[in-house]
Amino acid sequence: MTNSPELDSWAALSGNPSVAVVGLGGAGSEAVADLLALGIPGVRAFAVNTDANHLLRTGVEERILLGHRELRGRGSGGDRDAVLRGAVEGKEELLRRLRPFEIVFLLAGLGGGTGSALLPFLSRELRQTNALPIPVAFLPFQVELDTNSSRRLNVEATVADLEGMGGFLLALANEKLRRFDSLPIHRVFQVRNAYVHSLVTSLVDMVENPSQISVDFASLKNHLRNSDLSTLVVGEYHISEPERLVQEALNETLLDYQIDAAPSVLVHLEGGSNFTLGTLDRVLRALRHRLGEPDRLVMGTRVRSEPSEVLRLTAVIGGLLPRTVRDAVMPPRSRLVEAR
């Protein structure tokens, strides 16, 4: 309390936005458990599923079982419509539990019934409140799309729903993890989930860290609400080579996209006390150049108190052509015909 009523009223308004990560279905819930293992201080974690067994086994504390009347806690077996009916039934509880949060990351693997149905459903519902939903979709491996047409249809329906809504969808293609073919499967998913961890902690840092270059919640919301299909890149490199850092990050992309024509980018840079303004300028110039001089760039930095040889970049590259995501989720026609 100060002795100024006006300052007191500002203090009451200055609290950081509250953040939740919500895993939808099996893959989404497992991603949230990985984020918890990596540490997400100040962020509340939820798992939402139609599968009671999976919910009982997950390490995520806040759990919501949906559609138990129809699906009896057994999962949906890929039935997106049944999950949607369950979601309508459970909508009040879902929104009551999620209402306190201003930024809500929604994580789902597409192709099954639960995550595929809930990602657009909750994005739409949360957009109608004052919250900022950030839907993150893991696209199935090519072999799943080639061999299981109901998976493909679920993915297509989900992407179409999200596109129809306009606004943000962050897409990460599992197929791009094939470069880790020699790792055990759970380790491969952990690599991808570490990217998502970087996204969550960077965005939280950007809105909660007013001491450095930061972005207010309203600008972040405006930026994300206006950049539709997006993907995530993460890179780390020696601080003396900022251009190489940008190159490394862009090489590690988890979606095929047209790199040289992205209209928007949100970037977060984290370095030690030796991270200079000159280095920041070199990173941003290199990034803008590689992305074809995007019209909109939102940036945040975090400078730790100790010096560090490593600079870390996390960027959300937005406004990708819708065609790009369709290409990523739909195999070429000839291959579909072969698979039948």
Stretch that binds Mg ion, among 17-25, 206-214, 232-240, 296-304 (CB under 5 A): 17-25
Task: State the number of binding residues for ligand GTP (CB under 6 A).
Answer: 24
Tokens of 137: 């979709």
For ligand GTP, the binding residues in 187-226 under the rule CB under 6 A are: 189
Residue 165, SS3 per DSSP: helix
Residues in contact with ligand GTP, shown as a per-residue x/- string from 28 to 57 under the rule CB under 6 A: --xx------------------xx------
Residue 188, CA distances (Å) to 105, 179, 181, 255, 314 in order: 21, 9, 8, 16, 19
Stretch that binds ligand GTP, among 89-97, 133-141, 208-216, 287-295 (CB under 6 A): 133-141
Residue 144 interaction partner, one of Mg ion, ligand GTP, none, beta carbon < 5-8 Å per kind: ligand GTP
Residue by residue, DSSP assigns 54-106 as HHHH-S-SEEEE--HHHHTTB--TT-HHHHHHHHHHHHHHHHHHHTT-SEEEE
Taking the complex as a whole, the smallest distance from the CB of residue 25 to Mg ion amounts, in Å, to 5
Indicate the residue among 58 and 202 with the shorter CB distance to ligand GTP: 58
Work out whether 51 is an interface residue with Mg ion (CB under 5 A).
Answer: yes
CB 127 within 8 A of CB 165: yes
Angle at 307 between CA 306 and CA 310, to 5 degrees: 120
CB-based contacts of 190, cutoff 8 Å, min separation 6: 34
Residues in contact with ligand GTP, shown as a per-residue x/- string from 98 to 117 under the rule CB under 6 A: -----------x-xxxxx--
> Rg of the chain over CA atoms, in angstroms?
20
Residue 31 interaction partner, one of Mg ion, ligand GTP, none, beta carbon < 5-8 Å per kind: ligand GTP
Indicate which single residue of 67, 120, 140, 271 sits in contact with ligand GTP (rule: CB under 6 A): 140
Distance of CA 245 to the CA centre of its chain: 22
Taking the complex as a whole, the smallest distance from the CB of residue 111 to ligand GTP amounts, in Å, to 3
Residue 292 interaction partner, one of Mg ion, ligand GTP, none, beta carbon < 5-8 Å per kind: none
Task: Name the one residue in this structure whose structure tokens are 């500002």.
Answer: 10
CB-based contacts of 167, cutoff 8 Å, min separation 6: 123, 127, 224, 225, 226, 228
Work out whether 26 is an interface residue with Mg ion (CB under 5 A).
Answer: yes
Taking the complex as a whole, the smallest distance from the CB of residue 54 to ligand GTP amounts, in Å, to 7
The identity of residue 213, as a single letter, is I
Question: In the complex, which residues of this chain contact Mg ion (CB under 5 A)?
Answer: 25-26, 51, 75
Question: In the complex, which residues of this chain contact ligand GTP (CB under 6 A)?
Answer: 25-27, 30-31, 50-51, 75-78, 109, 111-115, 138, 140-141, 144, 151, 174, 189
